[in-house]
């Protein structure tokens, strides 16, 4: 393919084709390697050597896990599923209650990422007045990070006995999660500087800690869309500016992509998602314990485990629904 005349005339398209070719080759190689290991294991079984039983048990366990991992990868059908992700959390109305819930979600995603050895960089964090966070933005790096985390986009609802209510009443809190593929380096988006309002401010940590004397934090408002991004966790004004522009590009690209998807669905006569604000999942800690995803109807009775980062089952259910497979 790469040797064909004229292939490299359009450099950007050629590079994209080569990336896709590499991705497909890696997928084929993984299945071929697995097939070879299964054949070898079957040959050992046919030998009937009892001394190999322990080794075979370990190999079967490892092969089973590998098959499940590769089956999981077949569920990724999106163009950008293999990419890294940018994830943002915004506390809903409700003051301290909602801000505490946003912090619980942040911890949940951090624990999930850590369980997969993904690298997380907190780009921006706006701490709550009394507890929790008002918002945060994180870059999450790992294979299929976006493909996994896109299932988390939407409004998350918490029902619990409030630790901040002296009367111990039950409260319902909301927080919004946004997720974009981290592809700002690979896409070309024209942004008119006249459409931007750039504000500088002093970065600070929780409780006023680590207050910087210089205005190194950046907030960018894209006037035509109303999108606001900020970054304060890098070391310099230039670094914060670069990261904030990267997040803005990702949001603008995803906004345009979702508009096109909605227009195509409307032409096909399909039901169109009107916005990002739909409630996708409820976490109930009182009067009973349950986490239920309202899109797939998948639910579990162990919210503590889910809030500790056990999200994969919800992600699998969402991905299966997306490709038309039955959700167990």
Distance CA 214, CA 40 (A): 63
Contacts 24+ apart (CB under 8 A), 163-166: 163/100, 164/96, 164/97, 164/100, 164/130, 164/131
Phi, psi of 82 (to 5 degrees): -80, -10
Distance CA 56, CA 45 (A): 8
Q: Domain spanning 85-187+276-322 has what CATH number?
A: 3.30.70.1660
Assign domain 193-268 to a CATH class: alpha beta
What pLDDT score does 260 carry?
79
CB 265 within 8 A of CB 141: no
What pLDDT score does 208 carry?
40
CB 173 within 8 A of CB 94: yes
Residues in the chain: 328
What pLDDT score does 62 carry?
84
What pLDDT score does 313 carry?
94
What pLDDT score does 65 carry?
81
Distance CA 158, CA 98 (A): 9
Phi, psi of 179 (to 5 degrees): -140, 135
Contacts 24+ apart (CB under 8 A), 120-123: 121/233, 122/233, 123/86, 123/231, 123/233, 123/234, 123/243, 123/247
Contacts of 163 (CB under 8 A, 6+ apart): 100
pTM: 0.76
CB 93 within 8 A of CB 173: no
What pLDDT score does 179 carry?
94
Distance CA 141, CA 146 (A): 9
Segment 162-204, tens digit of pLDDT: 888 878 888 999 999 999 999 866 667 889 999 999 999 877 6
For the chain, list residues with pLDDT below 50: 206-213, 271-277
Q: Please, is 144 exposed, middle or buried when counting C-beta atoms within 10 Å of its C-beta (0-12, 13-18, 19+)?
A: buried
């Amino acid at each position: 393919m790469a040797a064909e005349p004229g292939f490299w005339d359009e450099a950007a398209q050629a590079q994209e084709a080569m990336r896709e070719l590499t991705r497909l080759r890696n997928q084929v190689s993984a299945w071929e390697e697995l097939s070879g290991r299964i054949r070898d294991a079957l040959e050992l079984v046919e030998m009937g050597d009892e001394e190999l039983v322990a080794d075979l048990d370990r190999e079967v366990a490892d092969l089973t896990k590998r098959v499940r991992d590769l089956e999981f990868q077949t569920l990724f059908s999106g163009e950008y599923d293999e990419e890294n992700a940018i994830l943002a959390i915004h506390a809903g109305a409700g003051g301290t209650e909602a801000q505490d819930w946003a912090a619980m979600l942040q911890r949940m995603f951090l624990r999930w990422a850590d369980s997969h050895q993904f690298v997380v960089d907190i780009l921006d964090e706006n701490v709550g007045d009394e507890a929790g966070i008002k918002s945060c933005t994180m870059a999450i790096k790992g294979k299929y990070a976006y493909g996994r985390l896109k299932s988390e986009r939407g409004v998350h609802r918490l029902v619990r006995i409030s630790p901040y209510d002296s009367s111990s009443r039950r409260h319902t809190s909301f927080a919004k999660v946004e997720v974009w593929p981290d592809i700002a380096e690979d896409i070309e988006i024209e942004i008119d500087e006249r459409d931007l309002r750039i504000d500088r401010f002093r970065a600070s940590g929780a409780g006023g800690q680590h207050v910087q004397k210089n205005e190194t934090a950046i907030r960018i408002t894209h006037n035509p869309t109303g999108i606001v991004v900020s970054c304060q966790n890098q070391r310099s004004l230039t670094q914060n500016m670069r990261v904030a522009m990267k997040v803005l590009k990702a949001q603008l690209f995803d906004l345009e992509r979702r508009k096109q998807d909605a227009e195509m669905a409307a032409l096909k006569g399909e039901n169109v998602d009107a916005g990002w604000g739909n409630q996708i999942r409820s976490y109930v800690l009182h009067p009973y314990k349950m986490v239920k995803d309202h899109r797939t109807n998948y639910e579990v009775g162990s919210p503590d485990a889910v809030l500790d980062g056990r999200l994969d089952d919800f992600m699998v259910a969402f991905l299966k629904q997306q490709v038309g497979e039955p959700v167990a």
